[in-house]
Each structure stands twice: as C-alpha cells, then as structure tokens.
Amino acid sequence: MIYSRIAGTGSYLPPKVMKNEDFAKRLETSDAWIRERTGIAQRHIAEESQASSDLAMHASRLAMQAAQVNEADIDLIIVATSTPDFVFPSTACLLQAKLGITGCAAFDIQAVCTGFVYALATADKFIKSGQHKCALVVGAEVFSRILDWNDRGTCVLFGDGAGAVVLRASETPGIHSSVLRADGRHAGMLSVPGNVNRGQITGSPFLQMIGNQVFKFAVKVLDEVGREALVAAGAGIGDVDWLIPHQANSRILDATARKLGLPPEKVVMTVDHHGNTSAASIPLALDEYVRAGKILAGHRLLLEGVGGGFTWGAVYATF
C-alpha cells in the first residue's frame, strides 16, 4: 500500500506589515474594534512587484530544504490560489519555472480559503495512485489586490502570504483521510463577482462578504467535516493533537473548537499576526508551529478549511 506523508514545510510573508493603527488613520475604525471582532492585530502586504508565484517560490524553497529534496525530485506541483498572477498560464507553471523545475505536472486549484485542503487531498490521491512520488503543494495569495480599502468590514481582515509542503510517497500512513465538500447555492455570501470582458471589468473586482452568514455557515460545516474526516480514518476527537483551521478570524476558530470539543491549547492560531490569508493560511500556520517546535513528528493533525464557493473540507494526518 502506498501512502503520502508531509516531509517538509515552508512559508513566506512579505516584509511590509500593516497594523490596525494604520487603518484607524484613514477609516472609521480602531485597533480595539478590529481586535474585538476578529482577533487580528496585523497582517503582511505584498509589494506591487510581488505576485502570488513570487511568494510561493520563497515558501517552496524552504519546504524543499526542510524535506531535503531538490528540483529533480519534484514530479507534481499544485498551487491553491484565488489571486493568480495572470488569467493564464497557471501560477503553478510560473512557480515551476522560477524554481527551475521542468517536465512535471503543474496546475492550480481554486477553492478560495479551502484551497490548500483541496490541493493536499488531490496530491495525496496522485501519490496513492503510484504515478507520482514527490509533490509540492502550495497555498499562495495576494488578497490585498482584490480588497476595497474603503470598506472597513472587509479590508481589515485579509493579508498576503504563502505556505508550502512537500508530500512524499511512504510505506507508513501520513494522510489518513480527506473529505471535500461544496455547495454553489451559497456563492453570494462571499465572492468577487467580477470578470474581464474585452478589456473591461464587468461586475465588481472587489471582495464582498455577508459576515454574519459566513460565520454561522463556517462554524457549522467545519464541525461537520472535521468529524467526517475523523470517522473516515477510524479516529475520534481524542486522537487529535492539533486542530489547524483556516485562519479566518479568532471567533470562528474559538467557536469551531468548542463545537468539536477541543481545548484551546490544541488549536493552532496565527490569525492575530497573519490576518486571513485565504489558501495560504493553513500551510502558514502549520509551518510556524513546526519551526517553533510545537508540532512534532508523530503528532496527529486535523486540517480544516472553508471558503467562498461555498467550499469546505478537512484532512486528518500524522505529521
């Protein structure tokens, strides 16, 4: 039986930091207001010269270094992003070139904030098929490009960044189960309802969100899909060492942990200093805790995401 295991992690955050006080200078808001409602204190913002593939490149190199693999070892690249460099080619192909990798399969997955979970589950299936042995799985976003910076209800929530893992074939289980779900009927709750048509923007190019509806929906489905993934693996809540949820805001994270019955000390939380980085949030959080020595080999992880689409999903894995 072929399994897949996470062999290395990496992450990258743009140097520019935007604190809550920076918003208070130009919007009717305050540090206290933002912290109380979101738990966020700061976020990183990409420079104009930085695209998603640039952030992904830095994170990928660190993940490859941690996994002790080189360019020739990588035979699959999957990038989860909602903010690609171009309409096409894919960000994965651009990343492939920047890393000096040639010939392997490379493609993007667009599931918004659930993107990394979708990408990880997909890479796991490719490796279990026996056709691939070493996958680079990345979440990379520059959400700052799709925000209305005059809308205090959305612009304070998001940040930019990238996280990556190297997933390798193994004789021992790493990823035990994955569950992916979607329901397009809820698309209007969270979207960027715009497009480019003959050189003109149609609709809106900015992120739109009905916050209270997103909160209720997110907590409900994260509880459900987390339990589904555990049941599929023959595990229970007591078998989870770390819950690594999409870092949307602290209130959603706290409510999800309570519904699942997990204590706060088992919840990975980085939203306070990263903001919501969409598809990058889970691998960013994972890498931070790995490099801090908190997540160790043998720890059992429940990774969960929920995002526009609506999409949601979970992966249960041994690190």
Q: In this predicted model, what pLDDT tens digit does every residue of 180-224 receive, in sequence order? A: 999 999 999 999 999 999 999 999 999 999 999 999 999 999 999
With contact defined as beta carbons under 8 Å apart, do 9 and 286 qualify? yes
For residue 69, what pLDDT is reported?
98
Domains, the chain, ranges and CATH? 3-172 (3.40.47.10), 176-318 (3.40.47.10)
pTM above 0.75, yes or no: yes
Helices (H), the chain: 20-24, 31-38, 52-67, 91-99, 115-128, 211-232, 250-260, 271-274, 281-291
Kindly indicate the confidence band of residue 167, based on its pLDDT and cuts at 50, 70 and 90: very high
Choosing from 44, 58, 132, 246, the catalytic residue is 246
Q: Are 157 and 38 in contact (CB under 8 A)?
A: yes
Q: Report the pLDDT averaged over residues 235-239.
A: 98
Q: Confidence class of residue 63 from pLDDT cuts 50, 70 and 90?
A: very high
Q: Which of 55, 23, 37 is nearest to 277 (CA)?
A: 55
pLDDT at 96: 98
CB 266 within 8 A of CB 240: yes
Cα–Cα distance for residue pair 173/239, rounded to 1 Å:
15
Q: What is the DSSP-derived secondary structure letter of residue 65?
A: H
* b (16+ CB within 10 A) / e for 114-133: bbbbbbbbbbbebbeeeebb
Terminal Cα distance for the chain, rounded: 18
* Mean pLDDT value across residues 118-125: 98
Average pLDDT, stretch 117-146? 98
Annotated active-site residue 113? The verdict is yes
Which position among 113, 186, 249, 274 bears the catalytic label?
113
The CB density around residue 225, as the number of other CB atoms within 10 Å, is 24
Q: Give the separation between CA 117 and CA 180, rounded to whole angstroms.
A: 8
- Over residues 154-159, the mean pLDDT reads 97
- Give whole-number Cα distances, 176 to 163, 185, 244, 319, in Å: 21, 30, 16, 11
Please report the pLDDT score of residue 251 as a whole number: 96
Closest CA to 144 of 159, 123, 127: 159
Is 276 a known active-site residue?
Answer: yes
Average pLDDT over residues 267-288: 98
DSSP 74: -
Q: What is the DSSP string of 27-47?
A: SS--HHHHHHHH---EEE---
Tokens for 161? 């960044």
- pLDDT averaged over every residue in the chain: 97
